[in-house]
Amino acid sequence: MKNSFSILFFFLLTVSLSAQINVGVKAGVNVSDRTRGDIPDDYGIDFQDLYAYHAGLTSEFGLNDKFSLLVEALYSVKGEKWVAENPDSATKPFVTDSEYQYLSVPLGVKYKAGNFSITIGAETSCLLGFFITNPEGERFDLTETNDNEKIDVGGFLGADYRIDKFTVGIRYIRSFVNGGERFTDISGEELDTTAYNRTLQLSVGYFFL
């Protein structure tokens, strides 16, 4: 992953010397979950938001005064929480973190209106790792054993505000790829479930070129 960021950084630095582009860094918060289809309401698990983060490189290739192309490379953590009843405590349920670590490459078109801008585009993500943290706080690496899709593709819509070299933004990302885990009913029969990543990103950035 470090090699990928290094190659992209030097590529953007080289291009910036001969083109009208801005290159910077960004980081922020991910609030994510996964859409759940065909899981009965009485299954016993409540799927809730996972709070995580993203960080990486961002760049804008200017086309004219209003439009530019957005290219980014981000380390991004998405997922959800699984909350189940605890038979020994009515106030302390069992909480399991389901965490997916991605190398994400968003590509988009940005429309500028003064300091504000709106961006629409697509994001391709490569799964780097899959981790489960159980109610006891033990963390397990299931990257090699899980059956989730290794490539995720989705669309996004975002907005940001820029002052000089600093920017703050918000973005909503919706996956098009079903990456559902396997769930079984009480009889052990596998359920035909679906799971699509949904992520709200809040970020701050700084352009150094």
Tell me what pLDDT residue 187 has: 56
d(CA 187, CA 140): 27
Confidence band of 181 (pLDDT split at 50, 70, 90): low
Domain segments of the chain as ranges: 2-207
Q: Which residue has the higher pLDDT, 59 or 13?
A: 59
62-110 per-position pLDDT tens digit: 888 899 999 999 999 999 998 887 766 555 678 899 999 999 999 999 9
CATH, range 2-207: 2.40.160.20
- What is the structure's pLDDT at 40? 60
Q: How many Å apart are CA 159 and CA 203, to the nearest integer?
A: 11
Structure-token match 């083109």, residue found: 19
